[in-house]
Amino acid sequence: MANEFVIILGSIIAISTIVIIIILFGGYAFRLPIQVFTFAFHRLGIFRKLPGGWHAPIPRTSGITCTLNCQACELAWLGCPVGMLQQYVIYFRFPFYVFGVVLAFGTALGRAICGWLCPFGLILDTCNKVCTHRYKPSNRLRFVKYFFLGGVVLGALLTGTILWCRFICFGALLGVVPYWLTWQTVSAFWLIYHLGLFSFYFTFSYFTHGRAWCRYFCPLGAIFSLLNPFSLIKRKYDFKWCTQCDKCKEICPMGLDPTDDDLYSKLDCLKCGRCARECKSNALSVNTAFGGTFISK
């Protein structure tokens, strides 16, 4: 048990350090390659049973990553914190493992995990490039994700099933398709259902904001948002250099005002660095809690 703890803690420190170093030396230019890598990494599970044939016994995993990746998605190597949290609740066990990993990553990186590492961030950022921004929901809708987080626990407790994963999760489609194509253990009904669910979230994002899932619905984002104010990665605003051009407000994928350190900014800033990159006057930057600029113009 002690050895497992040391390995897990060491892995968290190593991964967090690597991410910080990459951002520090690579800046915003490395964000897309990192997103592509994490998306591809979370899809590698589909290959793990190929030597045994497509109809080999379905494996189960016990790992956990700090990103939203279904424990069954394409026979994932590693599990999703939200899915594993429900499993612990179903068996009336306190999720020390899940809480420990999420707390450690969240304290180190905050919602930079959502902005740089989440495998679904790549899909949502792609949507963000083409979305219409026709509608702007009230900021109060941002608190829905906290109700969803409570619903994850309550739903599992009352039904004894991973209710969130089966009926609500945006990413469940990526788990359904491989099983439907290979083992045929998923019916056409569930395929159509999750295609519709995915289409709903994507359409909502298209007409509002590309990162609408992250703003309003993601329970894992809700956890990281609560840890965001304490993370080692900070956004810095120097009003002396600001020209009030408002460009940063226009390009923020989370619909925040980077010049205002209000509650929404404290909780939901992804530390993606877009505002700092676009700021012509160097009023905005992304730094560590110990100093040192990650991203600036």
> Could you report the per-residue pLDDT of 112-142, keeping only the tens digit for each?
999 998 888 888 898 888 888 888 888 889 9
pLDDT for the residue numbered 217? 93
Write out pLDDT tens, residues 265-288: 999 999 988 898 888 888 998 887
More confident residue, 4 or 215: 215
**Among residues of the chain, what percentage have pLDDT more than 90?**
23
Angle of CA points 190, 155, 174, to nearest 5°: 35
pLDDT at 55 over 70: no
pLDDT at 268: 94
> Across all residues in the chain, what is the average pLDDT?
82
Q: How many angstroms separate the CA atoms of 207 and 132, rounded?
A: 5
Q: Which amino acid is at 276?
A: A
Q: Given a cut of 70, is residue 3 above it in pLDDT?
A: no
Q: Does residue 178 surpass a pLDDT of 90?
A: no
Quote the pTM value: 0.87
DSSP letter at 186? S
pLDDT of residue 74: 65
**Cβ neighbourhood burial of 151 (10 Å; 0-12, 13-18, 19+):** middle
Cβ atoms of 252 and 173 closer than 8 Å: no
pLDDT value, residue 56: 52
Residues in the chain: 297
Mean pLDDT of 81-101: 88
Q: Which of 66-70, 160-164, 275-279 has the lowest mean pLDDT?
A: 66-70
From 53, 79, 76, select the one nearest 67 (Cα to Cα): 79
Residue found under tokens 């793990």: 48
**Predicted pLDDT at 25:** 67
